[in-house]
Chains A and B, each alone.
Chain A
């Protein structure tokens, strides 16, 4: 779906696009503890994809839900989607954003959901041997991200702060 707006990646979704399918890139607005996992194709920069991960892993009691909700299944499905579009695994590079602790005064002793998400996504990427070349994670501010297929660049904005480029 080409258009003037970035392609929106909803909670639990995995979107894989060629350059001309997302000329304005892929975006997630208002990320809190969730993680945007962006994987692009180094040098060739033809196809890229993004997952919007909610949780480190499924709870035991979880009924059937989208694989995109959980770190290991989302990362695996994102890589699969990219391979189906002709991206070779050795050309895949990852960038991450999100995993905030939204309420600064929540129990600092306990690992927050955001922190657990970061750890789980990094572990899943390591298990798949995908190199992480940039991340803007943790902290206590929400983020919006736009990532470009054609450059592999990721722009991150937070309320009242200067945008950051990865």
Chain B
């Protein structure tokens, strides 16, 4: 289902991005499994360019509540990373992080006590850090994350600033999405990486140089 790409990326470039993102997802998966003691499965990342308006649907629709940690990406390429969980999943993740605490399904930011808040921010830091360092290694370039920021709100509202920021006012945005899921099935979340289109050509150049050419695809 490879349609004409509005940002002008070739099928090969999409596939290369997919492979480096895969490395990022695997490392992020290892990190979160080690910290929580839970077994996490990460999906193969989906690399897509979407109309900006369709991006919130990736997180369950515009009005779906999400607990989200955002980090800006700096360095040799820019962009945004968002780690988003449904409130129920965020509560269960906190149970794993802080055993023995009273159960919590956070509905608003001030519902989350300070320690749990730090736990979620730290989780975001670790996931994004593991993801970015794996991608950096593949690209042989430096990608750094900002301090994480936490919010709970409608998916549409959480995404619109990031999508607009990442798309620079273009009508489409490139989104690399990985789903994380506890093997028990009760924690589901997403990592979204939105590279800034202004630095996309540079990323693609790095990809071309740091990776061997793709093997021919079966389809």
Contact = CB atoms under 8 A, between A and B. Distances in A.
Contact of B164 (A13, A34, A100, A106): A34
Contact of B155 (A30, A62, A70, A114): A30
Contacts of B168: 59, 61-62
A119 interface: no
A54 B169 contact: yes
A125 to B, nearest CB: 20
Interface stretch (A15-23, A43-51, A81-89, A140-148): A140-148
A160 B107 contact: yes
A142 B156 contact: yes
Chain B binding surface, main DSSP class = mixed
Chain A binding surface, main DSSP class = loop
B154 A159 contact: yes
Contacts, number: 104
A11 B109 CA distance: 26
B53 A12 contact: yes
A164 interface: no
A104 interface: yes
Given A32-B157, A103-B70, A113-B161, A65 B63 contact: no
Interface residues of B, number: 33
A106 B151 CA distance: 11
Interface in A87-123: 100, 102-106, 113-114
Interface range, A side: 35 or more
Contacts of B51: 10
Contacts of B158: 32, 102, 142
A31 B156 contact: yes
A32 B161 contact: yes
A33 B109 contact: no
Contact of A65 (B61, B159, B169): B169
- A-B pairs with lowest CB-CB distance, top 10: A30-B156, A142-B157, A30-B62, A32-B157, A103-B149, A32-B160, A29-B62, A33-B161, A30-B154, A142-B154
Interface of A: 10-13, 29-34, 54-55, 58-59, 61-63, 65-66, 69-70, 100, 102-106, 113-114, 140-144, 159-160
15 contacts: A11-B164, A12-B52, A12-B53, A29-B63, A30-B62, A31-B157, A32-B157, A32-B161, A58-B169, A103-B150, A103-B151, A104-B149, A105-B149, A142-B153, A143-B157
Given A30-B160, A32-B160, A142-B153, 5 more contacts: A30-B155, A54-B164, A113-B161, A144-B62, A160-B107
